[in-house]
């Protein structure tokens, strides 16, 4: 009898400890969700935006490309800082005037994370361009990190972008 009473007394704290452990895990997962972690829909919308940017770039559709950037977007690439959507528009127009056309583009997203209406995207990119007067295609690869902001309609826009060309 003493032995089973002792076993009973030692099992109760162990059972309580297990219950608390699993409850805390559930509470932690719940807290992360309530802390505004990105939903599957947010991640899908971010990926969709990147696919659309590629298509707009390949189609040389300047206006469609610009729609994926906030008005105050800042882009940093090859030591050049472009501040604002209008300045980015002028940069793209200059490429167009130099008879530069993208013939291939690819983005590989390595990571997407964020909270509420703010996300970051990290990945690699590759582009192939043709420029008038240059006999061979120009190929570039690089790495990028972006900060994106969620609009009220659920779409995501690039707010900050840093591209490091290899």
pLDDT at 11: 55
Shared domain check, 156 and 112: yes
pLDDT at 144: 97
Shared domain check, 98 and 148: yes
pLDDT at 93: 85
Cα separation of 49 and 45, whole Å? 6
pLDDT at 34: 55
DSSP 3-50: HHHHHHHHHHHHHHHHHHHHHHHHHHHHHHHHTTBPPHHHHHHHHHHH
Residue 147, phi then psi, degrees to nearest 5: -110, 130
79: left (phi over 0), alpha (psi -120 to 50) or beta: left
Contact 91, 123 (CB under 8 A): no
Shared domain check, 158 and 84: yes
pTM score of the predicted model:
0.76
Shared domain check, 24 and 4: yes
pLDDT at 136: 95
Shared domain check, 90 and 27: no
Residues of the chain where predicted confidence (pLDDT) is lower than 70: 1-35
| Domain hosting residue 1, numbered range | 1-35
Shared domain check, 93 and 71: yes
Shared domain check, 137 and 89: yes
Shared domain check, 56 and 21: no
Shared domain check, 50 and 31: no
Shared domain check, 118 and 47: yes
Contact 160, 74 (CB under 8 A): yes
pLDDT at 138: 93
Contact 31, 24 (CB under 8 A): no
Shared domain check, 116 and 83: yes
pLDDT at 17: 47
How do residues 65-103 score in pLDDT, each as one tens digit?
999 999 999 999 988 999 999 999 998 888 777 788 889
Shared domain check, 134 and 91: yes
pLDDT at 115: 96
CATH number of the domain where residue 143 is located: 3.10.450.50
The number of distinct structural domains making up the chain is 2
């Amino acid at each position: 009898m003493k032995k089973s009473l002792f076993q009973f007394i030692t099992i109760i704290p162990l059972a309580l400890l297990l219950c608390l452990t699993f409850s805390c895990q559930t509470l932690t997962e719940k807290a992360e969700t309530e802390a505004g972690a990105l939903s599957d829909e947010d991640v899908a919308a971010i990926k969709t935006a990147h696919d659309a940017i590629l298509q707009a770039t390949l189609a040389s559709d300047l206006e469609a490309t610009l729609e994926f950037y906030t008005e105050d977007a800042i882009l940093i690439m090859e030591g050049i800082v472009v501040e604002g959507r209008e300045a980015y528009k002028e940069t793209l127009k200059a490429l167009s005037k130099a008879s530069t056309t993208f013939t291939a583009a690819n983005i590989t997203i390595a990571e997407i994370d964020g909270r509420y209406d703010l996300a970051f995207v990290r990945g690699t990119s590759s582009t192939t361009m043709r420029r008038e007067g240059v006999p061979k295609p120009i190929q570039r690869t690089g790495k990028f990190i972006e900060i994106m902001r969620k609009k009220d309609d659920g779409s995501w826009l690039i707010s900050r972008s840093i591209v490091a060309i290899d």
